[in-house]
């Protein structure tokens, strides 16, 4: 089982890589880290402590911490939705922490919470691999600016390597032979 | 349309990830950011404010900011060609900002500015996908040190993940079926 | 040939990206950098200055600096096996540098030092590409959290993009046609 200390170290490590800070109030920070640990114990993955997870990995993927929305939120507001990750000016109290809009698209929320039609829900289970008679189609995304390749349902909001916008991502489709 | 504030935030965000700083002089910095915005408005992508873009994405890809040459330039000189991105010692005035050599290869410049023979120009349009009778060949690069995969014409100067040199990159060629 | 200055700049550059520091003692640091340079001159790649390299790239891949074990070691202890890369609290003398356990798995050590059975040794030469009659199987890893794709024998200990654990990586297998 993951310890609270491991959860804290992972968050610190991640903040360090991106030049972020963790929430300045030790008590509030501890609550968030305990929320992360609780989710990891319950679901097997550290979903966002401020959002309701569905418990199904495919539907929660975008809200695994650090969530898909953290980087654009820190860029625009100075902190993520939970305020676990904050910018230096926020950490130093120069920019106040206030509630910010939920960037997670409504259709992802609906899908996760079981309010979506059946077809939409099924699409999520295998986001990028489509089976054909004896072929499998694998769709990846690449950043047209720097070439970063990733394998996920939608492209990221911001390229983690060069910070190009989502619109700079395009698909690579590979048709490969099925096994057996 | 991208606002100047968005251009600034993206640059700040990118500097933060790599541990860089933006040019220390606010007036000079604003000029550079306005140049970036102007290019983004004109071409649809934020090409380098200190270089002449061709307006054709395929030929300008290497000079989209942050350009392919930024990281080796910051590593060698302490700042990029424009001095938009600088190292801490440069930001603090300990290392002077002086003109540095253009690292962009002459053949890329020639290709962009229409001085290259027709064949060279055409090669640039589909750098990594070659169509064959009913197959498509997709060439990616991977870093032999850390495994980072990217899809671009040439390997990067420096691996963005582990900083291995360009020579550590090798090709992965995937032959996939064409559609239809 | 790589100069000592280049080796130092690469290490500084890498530290900057991850928010790390280099060993605080200039003399000790210089010894480590000279060890790296010596290995790069001898083997053609900068293998860890504190570990014995086999001289065969396939067996030494995981100990090329920054080694596969650096990030989990800095996360857990505050410094890597050599203490070339250290965390801020270590750099500032708040956390002492002490010997830490070798995280490199015994089977990789055995394989590198020629003490492994023949079959194990052969597996290492082509870790991720398996030739079949007229097909080639390419195995990549992707992070189920953020989608990061890499091409290497084992998944990394920690995703370099989102810091998810090794267990979050899954395989993508592409079967492609062989040449000729």
The answer to whether the CB of C176 falls within 8 A of the CB of A89 is no
Please report the residues numbered 116 through 135 in chain A whose beta carbons come closer than 8 angstroms to any beta carbon of chain B: 135
CA distance C128 to B177: 21
Q: Which residues of C touch A8 (CB under 8 A)?
A: none
The enclosing H or E element of B169 equals: strand B169-177
Q: Which tokens hold the place of C172?
A: 């993508």
Three-state DSSP class for B171?
strand
Name the 3-class secondary structure at B137.
strand
A163 close to C (CB below 8 A): no
Q: How far apart are CA A131 and CA A86, in angstroms?
A: 42
Note whether B146 contacts C140, CB cutoff 8 Å: no
State the pLDDT at residue B79: 97
Confidence at residue A122, expressed as pLDDT on a 0 to 100 scale: 42
Provide the pairing of β-strand A129-131 with B85-86: unpaired
**What angle (nearest 5°) sits at the alpha carbon of residue B67, between those of residues B63 and B73?**
125
Residue C8 Cα to chain centre, angstroms: 18
Q: Is the pLDDT of residue A129 over 90?
A: no
d(CA A108, CA A132): 26
CB contact under 8 A, B19 and C14: no
Q: Please tell me the distance from the alpha carbon of residue B24 to that of residue C140, in angstroms, as a whole number.
A: 42
Beta-bridge partner residues of A137? A130, A175
On the question of pLDDT at C65 being above 80, the answer is: yes
Instruction: Please check whether residue A69 is in contact with residue A103, taking contact to mean a CB–CB distance below 8 angstroms.
Output: yes
Q: Across the strands, what pairs with C158?
A: C165
Which of A8, A13, A40, A173 to mutate to probe the C interface, most C CBs <10 Å? Answer: A13
Is-contact C29 C84, C-beta < 8 A? yes
**In chain B, which residues have their Cβ closer than 8 Å to the Cβ of A76?**
9
Q: What angle do CA A123, A126, A127 make, to 5 degrees?
A: 70
C75 with A13: Cβ contact below 8 A = yes
Interface test with A, best of C14, C71, C146, C158 (most A CBs within 10 A): C146
What integer pLDDT is reported at residue C10 of this predicted model? 94
Q: Which of residues 68-97 of B touch A (CB under 8 A)?
A: 68
Chain A residues whose CB is inside 8 A of the B156 CB are 146-147
Q: Are A147 and B150 in contact (CB under 8 A)?
A: yes
Q: Which pLDDT score, from 0 to 100, does residue C99 have?
A: 93
Name chain B contacts of C140, Cβ cutoff 8 Å: 149
pLDDT for position C178: 63
**Residue C165: closest C-alpha in chain A:** A10
Give the confidence band of A113 by pLDDT, cuts at 50, 70, 90.
confident
Q: How far apart are CA B83 and CA B50, in angstroms?
A: 10
Tokens 């860890």 belong to: C48
What percent helix, strand, coil does chain A show, rounded to 5? 40, 20, 45
| Average pLDDT in chain B | 89
Q: Which residues of B touch A148 (CB under 8 A)?
A: 150, 160
Asked if B57 contacts B50 with a C-beta cutoff of 8 angstroms, the reply is no
Q: Are A49 and A36 in contact (CB under 8 A)?
A: yes
* pLDDT per residue as tens digits for the range A51-91: 999 999 999 999 999 999 999 999 999 999 999 999 999 99
Q: Who has greater pLDDT, A140 or A1? A: A140
Q: What confidence score (pLDDT) does residue A128 get?
A: 58
E strands of chain A, at which residues?
Answer: 21-22, 85-86, 129-131, 135-143, 149-150, 169-177
Q: What pLDDT does C128 receive?
A: 58
- Residue B17, token pair as written in the block: 């990830």
Question: For residue B139, which of C138, C135, A128 has the smallest C-alpha distance?
Answer: C138
CB-based contact (8 Å) between A3 and chain C? no
Predicted pLDDT at C117: 47
- For residues C4 and C33, the answer to whether their CB atoms sit within 8 Å is yes
Unique residue bearing structure tokens 């720097």: A146
ipTM of the complex: 0.84
Whether residue B162 is predicted with pLDDT greater than 80 in this model: the reply is: yes
Q: What CA–CA distance (Å, rounded) separates B55 from C52?
A: 51
Chains that touch C (3 or more CB pairs under 8 A): A, B
Q: Best residue in A74, A133, A138, A145 to probe B by mutation, most B CBs within 10 Å?
A: A145
Q: State how far residue B113 is from chain A, nearest Cα, in angstroms.
A: 19
Q: Say how many C-beta atoms besides its own lie within 10 A of residue B133's C-beta.
A: 5
Q: Is the pLDDT of residue A126 over 50?
A: no
**Mean pLDDT of all residues in C91-100:** 95
Assess C19–A contact: CB distance below 8 Å, yes or no: yes
Q: Is the peptide bond before B100 cis (omega within 30 degrees of 0)?
A: no
Inter-chain touch A17–C163, beta carbons under 8 Å: yes
Least-confidence region, from B112-126, B145-159, C137-151: B112-126
Q: What is the pLDDT of residue B178?
A: 63
CB-CB under 8 Å, B45 with A75: no
Q: Which residues of B touch C9 (CB under 8 A)?
A: 75-76
pLDDT at A47 over 70: yes
């Amino acid at each position: 089982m993951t310890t609270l200390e491991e959860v804290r170290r992972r968050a610190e490590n991640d903040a360090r890589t991106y030049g972020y800070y963790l929430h300045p109030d030790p008590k509030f920070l501890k609550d968030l880290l305990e929320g992360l640990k609780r989710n990891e114990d319950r679901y097997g993955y550290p979903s966002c402590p401020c959002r309701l997870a569905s418990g199904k990995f495919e539907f929660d993927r975008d809200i695994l911490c650090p969530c898909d929305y953290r980087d654009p939120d820190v860029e625009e507001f100075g902190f993520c939705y939970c305020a676990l990750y904050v910018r230096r000016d926020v950490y130093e109290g120069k920019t106040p922490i206030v509630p910010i809009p939920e960037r997670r698209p409504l259709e992802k929320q609906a899908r996760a919470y079981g309010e979506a039609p059946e077809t939409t829900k099924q699409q999520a289970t295998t986001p990028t691999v489509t089976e054909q008679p004896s072929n499998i189609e694998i769709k990846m995304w690449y950043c047209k600016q720097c070439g970063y390749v990733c394998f996920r349902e939608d492209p990221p909001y911001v390229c983690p390597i060069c910070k190009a916008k989502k619109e700079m991502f395009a698909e690579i489709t590979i048709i490969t032979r099925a096994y057996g």
